[in-house]
Amino acid sequence: MSGPRTSERIIPVAICLLILGMSASTFQMEIESAELRERTERSETHESVNFQGFTPGSIYSDATISNARGTVCYVRHDGTIGCWGGNDNGQLATGYSGWGMESTYSTEDIIGVGGLQFREVAVGHMSACAITEGDELYCWGGGQYGQLGRPVCVENTTGGGYFHCRHAMNKPPQKVNFTNNETVLTISGTGGSGHFCAIMETGEVMCWGQNLYGQVDGSDFCSKMTSYAIPAVGDDCNWNYGKTRPQLVPFPDNRSAIAVTTGDQFSCAVLDNNSVYCWGSTLAGRMGLGEDHFTTVTTSSWDVSMSSIEVENPDAFPDSGYAVLGWREGYWSGKSGNNLTGFELVDTEGVGTIVAGTYIANAIQREPIHIPMPNDEPALAIDSGGAITTAIVGDGKAVFWGHAGDNSTPVIQTAIPQGRTVISFSQSESHGCGILDNFEAWCGGQNGWGQLGLGSTGGNTPFSMVTGGQEFVGIATGSYYFNENSRWNSTYQGAQTASSCAINVTGYVFCWGTDELGTLGDGPPCCSRNAPNLIYSPGRDGRADVSDRDPDGDGVISILDDLPYGCPSGVYLVNGACTGVTTAGFYSLEYSTIQHPCPAGTFQPSPGQDNCLTSSAGHYSPEGSASEIICPTGHYQPDEGQGACLEADSGNYVSIEGETRQYECTPGSYQPWSGQDGCLEAQPGNFVSGFGSDRQTSCAEGSYQESSGMDSCTQADPGFYVSSEGSTSQEPCQPGSFSSSQGQDSCTEASPGFFVLEAESTAQSACQPGDYQPDSGQVQCLTADPGNFTSSESAIEQTPCPSGHYQPDPGQTSCIESEAGYFSQEGASSQTQCPSGTYSSSSGESECTAADPGYYVELDGATGQTACPPGQFQGSSGSGSCEEAPPGQIVSPDGTSTLECSPGTYKPENQSTCLEASPGHFVNESGASSQTPCAPGSYRSTSGKTDCVLASPGNYVPEEGSSGQTQCPKGEFQSFGGESSCNQAMPGHYVPEEGARSQTSCKVGNYQPESGQEDCMPADPGNFVSQSGATSQFACQPGTFQGDSGSSSCDPAQPGNFVPNAGATEQSKCPGGQEQELSGQASCVDVERPLWLSLLIFGVPSIILGTMAILYISNRKKGGGGGRGKAYMYSEDLTVGQLKK
């Protein structure tokens, strides 16, 4: 959070750039004399100076040049002071001051000091101060803020202008009077806020001048809300909010300061424990504790009508103080809870409401507060400029803080050349410069006016070496903007003042930077210089005085030296002077600040000595002894130079004084203490076996000693023991324990598995089979419990009967195997019947076997499982019964499930297997519970079929459920399949065989008048049937006859014969006298015939009949195998056998 003033937002150029390039390097704490000689020759220093130079504000060196706000002053080598540059308030002490931009451009002597010689100078805001060789402080110039250490303001009574403090400028040098007339060691001033701080001879810090932020007081501040008297009264603030009297700054534990610095509105000091403390303005990171340390936000809105303002963190604020809220500033007078009470703004013009969430800063740190250095390194020197502070820490590193942002806490910079360290520096508002241990000057920061001395100008520039090749021993930087507004008739003109001035090893002063006020001191103001330029000191030797940074010449510069000043041997420093003479028992070397006690082993009877005497053997000398002392009895000293006698070691003694050796105790005696004059006898229960024992040895466990002064012990007998060291007797072993050998420190407890019944036993007894003992130290064994056994001696535990075995009795050596149908688990005392659904088929089972699927165990104690009976099944294991298979299903072969009866089979209820369909029946689906009879006209002659067979032609099935077909009986036939009856042969027909597929027409010569006949009747003799299928026969007509039956025609009466009647079975010869030349005559005639006629009558018919017979036989042979498949309604030649084919 930025502060209320523009100057507090300036970039921290001095330190930032001074240290941009600084790397940590080890600062050599002691400079080797050869290196110092080399450096001295190179630097051409004054003969009396060991290591020239200074660090501003340090008690260990004198700052002989100072630069602030365009004014430069320095101490010449003759103790006079010369100044040049800005002189608007008479800060040059030339006896006059001009108006506005008054300045001088060459060195002028200060006046009014009456020939005083000075050793240190500090330029501040419109003023300057210097310390004389007598350590008195003189200040001159403007004193508007009390910066001259005395009140100088006169009340403006003319009524003109706003400036009430008049006649405060152009004041001549005048001694600053401190309360107790203390002298001053060093001083620091600032060109920013118009205050000075000095370290007094007591080590205390006193400050004076402007105190708006408490930068002077260290405990209080001057408020803009208060009007102060002119001139100031006592320690009160003056009209310009300053303290005109030096104020004591309190430090913790009343510590002293070794370095002090003043910045813009704040101050800092290094204390004698090398810690850093700062006080004053907290803005812009000046306190080095981070921006948040002093900052919070408002938590509610505030307006001018309110007397308190609420904040988030009231702990960041003291009970009263000064606050900054952006560009506004105000004061509060108390606290209540989270409220700062009595709050009011300095200027309320244009202020409406301060909203919640506004940042508010506690702007003042009243009491000095500790600023930790990185890594807790000790601080050695310090300097401030603007809002920035830099410090040199113990090993030559530089740290900086200030100007807010990342620099609000101390930061180590790491950019100086490798192997180099910083031994001096000067910090300004815009830039900073340091001197390294090789006397090079390095600067960094803003370089708009060449103030870095790099031979060029520019903006912010990293830490770099100053050009020109000069070796510098002291440097001073300044950069506050010069604005002439310090009085009632100010011109308000301004000028840039950024510059640097340095003293080289020969004492000459060089300056560089802006020259607007003649700040470079080299003649009339001209222009800026970007490289070191020698100042102009007309008419005199202008070389500067340079202090010695190694006054005791020990090669260590004073800020690093624990003893920067020395004294001759035998003498030491008292109150800053070598007036102390060493007393008896003490000595001192050169450069000692104190006397040292003679080290132990030495003594000194005389005062003023630089050494001590060595004590002789048999004697000693403690530290600081004035004489040696004889060693008493019990002590001795074999060597010289000892600080104490040696006590006789334990185990030894010294019986007379002044001995140079000790004597060993003999066996049987000892001495536990050192420093004794005799030895002790070993007590009963103890012994001492050798020489020089420092203790008696207790008889070890297992041994004892009844007498004193002995060199050994007696071992315990078997059956006895000695349990503790130092025993005077042995003890018997108790029942349950024994000791088998000598020298035992305890009786051995009977091992597990063993027992000891009586005291003083030398052995243990084993437990017998059936017994056991798990514990040691027992007097008897335990009997094995039921369900357990022990089979051997010395059992330490009983063994549970293994699975499949049991033991109902105690004290047994084995277990009984469980019987078949039973089981027993580990440790069982009885066997257990297998429950229903389980069995054990053999003895010694640890568990019963569950009945397998397809099996069952119905009763407890079973030794096997039973397969499910036919028709039953069991799908689960461990069952006590089986289940019936439902109708249409049978049990699977393994008895674990059911299967549907396959087509052709069925299973009715209460049947265990699938039955094949009976002949005459069928089953055409799976899982059937019944069979179906074959319908009439169909049959099934075999079992297990899925359908029926239709009756074949020539057969029939008259009823359902038939197992076969029936051949049509003789006289009947059936031309179609699947019929339940046969057809009768029609009249004129017959069926001669069973199983006919057709009827047969009666052959020629036969006839059948009835139906259902198995044959035809032959025509009777005298009759004939000329056509097949005839239902009747016909009688032969007269003239014809038939003597045979079954003829298809009648024979005509042969010639010479006749047949007179119908139905004749024979012909009759013509009676004598008659003849019949013709055949087929019903009578004879008396007729003569010729031979040809007879031949015609009888020969021709015979030939015709023979031919017909031959043709008939031939036809039958050709058609005998081809009748199958032909429909013969009247096929006389078709037999039943041929139909079956």
Per-residue CA distances from 546 to 295, 450, 467 (Å): 44, 26, 22
CA distance 305 to 846: 100
Show me where the domains of the chain are located: 63-249, 301-362, 571-630, 646-713, 917-1001
Task: Name the nearest CA neighbour of 138 among 173, 189, 95.
Answer: 173
Question: What integer pLDDT is reported at residue 99 of this predicted model?
Answer: 53
Instruction: Report CA 27 to chain centroid distance, whole Å.
Output: 43
Tokens 């507060």 sit at which residue? 369
Contact 415, 19 (CB under 8 A): yes
User: How does DSSP assign 923-957, residue by residue?
Assistant: --STT-SS-EEPPTTEE--SSS-SS-EEPPTTEE-
Q: Under a CB-based contact definition with an 8 Å cutoff, are residues 435 and 422 in contact?
A: yes
In angstroms, the CA 626 to CA 642 distance is 14
DSSP lists the bridge partners of residue 335 as 340
Provide the 10 A C-beta neighbour count for residue 570: 22
Largest CA distance in the chain: 239
113: left (phi over 0), alpha (psi -120 to 50) or beta: alpha
Cα separation, 1041 vs 873, in Å, equals 89
**Terminal alpha carbon distance of the chain:** 131
Mean pLDDT by 10 residues, the chain (1141 residues): 32 31 30 31 47 93 95 95 91 74 83 93 96 97 94 75 74 94 93 92 96 91 90 89 95 96 96 96 93 91 92 92 91 95 88 89 95 95 94 89 81 84 93 94 93 94 93 93 57 80 96 92 87 87 90 80 74 78 90 86 93 94 94 95 93 94 94 93 93 92 92 94 92 94 92 94 93 94 94 93 94 93 93 93 92 92 90 89 88 87 89 88 91 93 91 93 91 92 93 92 92 92 92 92 90 89 90 86 74 65 71 57 37 37 32
DSSP string, 290-320: -GGGGEEEBSS-EETT-SEEEBS-GGGS-SS
Determine contact, residues 116/94, Cβ cutoff 8 Å. Answer: no
CATH of domain 571-630: 2.10.50
Q: Where are the beta strands (DSSP E) in 527-569?
A: 529-534
Task: Work out the number of other CB atoms within 10 angstroms of the CB of residue 925.
Answer: 14
Which tokens hold the place of 335?
Answer: 């606290």
3-state SS of 97-155 is CCCCCCEEEEEEECCCCCCCCEEEEEEECCEEEEEECCCCEEEEECCCCCCCCCCCCEE
Q: How far is CA 463 from CA 318, 533, 622, in A?
A: 40, 20, 56
> Which pLDDT belongs to residue 1115?
62
As a whole number of angstroms, the distance between CA 423 and CA 558 comes to: 11
User: What sign results for the dihedral spanned by CA atoms 553, 559, 560, 564?
Assistant: positive
- Other CB atoms within a 10 A radius of the CB of residue 1113 amount to 8
Fold entry, domain 646-713: Tumor Necrosis Factor Receptor, subunit A; domain 2 (2.10.50)
Q: Contact, 150 vs 494, CB < 8 A?
A: no
- H/E element holding 380? strand 379-385
Are 63-249 and 646-713 in the same CATH fold? Answer: no
The distance of Cα 417 from the centroid of its chain, to the nearest Å, equals 43
63-249 carries CATH number 2.130.10.30: yes
Sign of the torsion formed by the C-alpha atoms of 271, 275, 280 and 284: positive
Q: How many whole angstroms separate alpha carbon 261 and alpha carbon 151?
A: 23
Contact 873, 897 (CB under 8 A): yes
Which amino acid is residue 663, in one-letter code?
Y
